[in-house]
Amino acid sequence: MARRTTAAQLVAKSQGGERIVCLTSYDAPTAGLVEAAGADLVLVGDSVGNVVLGFPDTRAVSLDMMIHHTQAVMRGTRSVHVCADLPFGSYQVSPSEAKRNVSRLVAETGCQSVKLEGGQPWYGTVAAIRELGVDVMGHLGHTPQSLGLRPSRAPWTPAERDGIIEEARGLEAAGCFAIVLEIVPTQVAKLVTEAVSVPTIGIGSGPHCGGQVLVLHDILGMGPALPHARRYGEIGEAIRRAAAEYAEDVRACRFPGDEHGFD
């Protein structure tokens, strides 16, 4: 079996000046395609809740759901680094409960790292997870599990700017190997990126981060157009059109054709 890219290799790549390419995936076939496309990192985001499971937000996602989807992503890939989100409630209660849940997630899936949202309140939790020998990615800025804790695109105050720089430093000191910056103003993201030696992975945070992450379905055109994402395909429309053509063919008795049956 091919050895998977480690967190240390991703850090080295970033420190060597290369951008880290990350996309989300939630199932085996699309994760395999993302790996084949050359992504450095596959994130099994808890965005699985709103992107594919039909929940209004990420808070309904359970540890069992994350295990189920991370197992699928691991089965569909061979060598790419797979990071799994810690779902809401799985790490917030106490560092020891976080350790128990991370142990389960890693033991049952084989993923390389986990991600948690938030800064200062979770330094101890990051350090506790690192005691297990599991790599941790941080996540600052817009943190969807804390619904509405910070308005996404309102101007940032100097105190907020200094606060996120401080928290990024704190997460690095606690042991994070990378930090997602979600919907952070471009110049603030640049300052954060310059303040830490681990890669920042931006989403809606401008071009100065050490890497970029997007939700796969957003680049495939399977949801509404978003200001921070570029649509590289129109797969949603392709699916709708294919399903509509199939429906027309069935109703008009054009499918199945003779070639689709057997005697």
Rg, C-alpha atoms of the chain: 20
CA dist 84 and 113 (Å) reads: 6
Residue 257 per-residue DSSP state? -
With a CB cutoff of 8 Å and minimum separation 6, the contacts of 32 are 76, 77
Tell me which of 35, 46, 135, 218 binds ligand KIV, using CB under 6 A: 46
Which of 10, 134, 140, 180 forms a contact with ligand KIV (CB under 6 A)?
Answer: 180
Q: 82 forms bridges with which residues in the sheet?
A: 42
Residue type, 166: E
For 4, half-sphere exposure in the C-beta direction (CA atoms, 13 angstrom radius) is 20
CA proximity to 69, closest of 90, 44, 88, 52 = 44
Closest distance of CB 247 from ligand KIV, Å: 32
Among 14, 24, 90, 125, binds ligand KIV (CB under 6 A): 24
In the complex, least distance from residue 131 CB atom to ligand KIV, rounded to whole angstroms: 24
Has 166 been annotated as catalytic? no
Cβ of residue 263: shortest distance to ligand KIV, in angstroms? 50
Q: Which is nearer to ligand KIV, 43 or 196 (CB)?
A: 43
| Shortest distance (Å) from residue 248 CB to ligand KIV | 36
Q: How far is the CB of 223 from ligand KIV (least distance, A)?
A: 12
Site track 61-100 with ligand KIV (rule: CB under 6 A), x = hit: ------------------------x---------------
**Amino acid identity, residue 37?**
A
Q: Is 193 in the site for ligand KIV (CB under 6 A)?
A: no
- Extract the tokens encoding 108: 């049952």
Name the H helices within 118-225.
Answer: 123-131, 158-174, 186-195, 216-219
> Which residue has its beta carbon closest to ligand KIV?
45
Q: Is 202 in the site for ligand KIV (CB under 6 A)?
A: no
Contact 13, 20 (CB under 8 A): yes
Q: How far apart are CA 41 and CA 114, in angstroms?
A: 12
Choices 39-47, 70-78, 94-102, 104-112 (CB under 6 A): range interacting with ligand KIV: 39-47
C-alpha span between 253 and 241 (Å, rounded): 18
> Does position 35 bind ligand KIV by CB under 6 A?
no
Q: Which of 102, 137, 203, 209 binds ligand KIV (CB under 6 A)?
A: 203
Among 14, 25, 30, 47, binds ligand KIV (CB under 6 A): 47
> Which residues are tagged catalytic?
182
Residues in touch with ligand KIV (CB under 6 A): 24, 43, 45-47, 85, 180, 182, 203, 213, 215
